[in-house]
Structure 1
Amino acid sequence: MSNHLPDGWTEYSNVGKRIPGTRFIAFKVPLKKVFDTRLAPLQRFSTTELISEIEKQKEELGFVVDLTCTKRYYSPQELPATVQYAKIFTAGRQLPTDEVIYEFKSTVKQFLSENADNEKLIGVHCTHGLNRTGYLVCRYMIDVLDMVPSEAIEKFNKSRGHCIERENYLADLLQGKPRR
Structure 2
Amino acid sequence: MSHTGPPPRWRNCPRRGQPVAGKFLPMKTMLGPRYDDQVPEENRFHPGMLSNFLKSLKVKMGLLVDLTNTTRFYDRNDIEKEGIKYMKLPCRGHGESPSTETTTSFINICERFIEKNPTEIIGK
Aligned counterpart, 2:45? 45
Aligned counterpart, 2:27? 27
- CA displacement at 1:81 relative to structure 2: 4.3
Runs of 4+ residues over 3 Å off in structure 1: none
Aligned counterpart, 1:68? 68
Bigger drift between 51-60 and 64-73 goes to 51-60
Does the Cα contact within 8 Å between 1:90 and 1:96 map onto a contact in 2?
yes
CA distances 1:96-145 after superposition (whole Å, capped 9, x unpaired): 111101110111011112213xx211001xxxxxxxxxxxxxxxxxxxxx
RMSD (Å) for aligned C-alpha atoms? 1.4
Q: Distance in 1 between matches of 2:66 and 2:27?
A: 10
Does the Cα contact within 8 Å between 2:12 and 2:43 map onto a contact in 1?
no
Aligned counterpart, 2:113? 111
Does the Cα contact within 8 Å between 2:31 and 2:45 map onto a contact in 1?
yes
- CA displacement at 1:90 relative to structure 2: 0.7
TM-score relative to the length of structure 1: 0.63
Q: Computing the radius of gyration over CA atoms, which structure comes out larger, 1 or 2? A: 1
Q: Distance in 2 between matches of 1:40 and 1:75?
A: 20
Does the Cα contact within 8 Å between 1:66 and 1:87 map onto a contact in 2?
yes
Give the aligned length. Answer: 121
Q: Distance in 2 between matches of 1:95 and 1:43?
A: 27
- CA displacement at 1:3 relative to structure 2: 3.3
Whose helix proportion is higher, 1 or 2?
1
TM-score relative to the length of structure 2: 0.89
Aligned counterpart, 2:5? 4
Identity over aligned pairs, percent: 24
Aligned counterpart, 1:160? none
- CA displacement at 1:22 relative to structure 2: 3.6
